[in-house]
Structure 1
Amino acid sequence: MDEQIGKLRWRCRRGMKELDLLTLGYLERHYPEAPAEEQQAFAALLELQDPLLMSYMVGRETPADATTARVVGVMRTLLSDPHPS
């Protein structure tokens, strides 16, 4: 699992700092306890181009897949609270 997390952490490095914070935030705070299908959806999100991923994060577009939409919803909550105490 640690090797997989390391690979995902590397893929969380995006071209936009905002996306870095959201993807890493999800990976660190939600991914370990997420169901397998949500973990797979998160990994698939990391394969998307930054503009589409950002469109999901700001709500301009919504993923068609319900599981992916759930993961995006969790990630969007990080927009309002990126560094919880």
Structure 2
Amino acid sequence: MQDPKAPADNSDFNRLWWHSRRGMLELDVLLIPFLEEAYRDLNAEDQARYSKLLTCEDVDMFEWFMQRSRPDDADLQRIVDIILSRVQPD
């Protein structure tokens, strides 16, 4: 049986994995573990939001994850909140 946390042999997941590697350590340590550990448990709408997040600029994402600013787009804010909730539990 395949490890559920191991990257799947599917091209969509692999594409997301490579797009999650941003080259900025602060983003990489958030996005890669989130993708590997939580992405598959998201509903289809939140998975689409994650894909949309990956189209954003690194500088914008950094500001959102450091909570210095918020995305104007409610979909992006939702996925940012989901990711932050994994590293900042209640």
Task: Give percent identity, aligned residues only.
Answer: 31
> Aligned-pair distance for 1:80?
4.5
Max radius of gyration: which structure? 2
Runs of 4 or more above 6 Å deviation: none
Identify unmatched segments of 5+ residues in structure 2.
1-7
Q: How does 1:66-85 map to 2 (within 5 A)?
A: 66-80=74-88
Matched AA of 2:28: D
Aligned residues: 81
- Structure in which a larger fraction of residues adopt helix: 1
Q: CA RMSD in A?
A: 1.8
TM-score of the superposition, structure 1-length normalised? Answer: 0.81
Task: Show structure 1 runs of 5+ residues with no match.
Answer: none
Contact 1:63 1:69 in 2 (8 A): yes
2:48 aligns with: 40
Q: 1:21 to 1:78 in 2, by over 3 A?
A: farther
Using structure 2 for the length normalisation, give the TM-score: 0.77
Deviation at 1:79, TM superposition (A): 4.0
Which fold has the larger relative contact order, with Cα–Cα distance below 8 Å and residues 6 or more apart in sequence?
Answer: 1
Structure 2 match to 1:60: 68
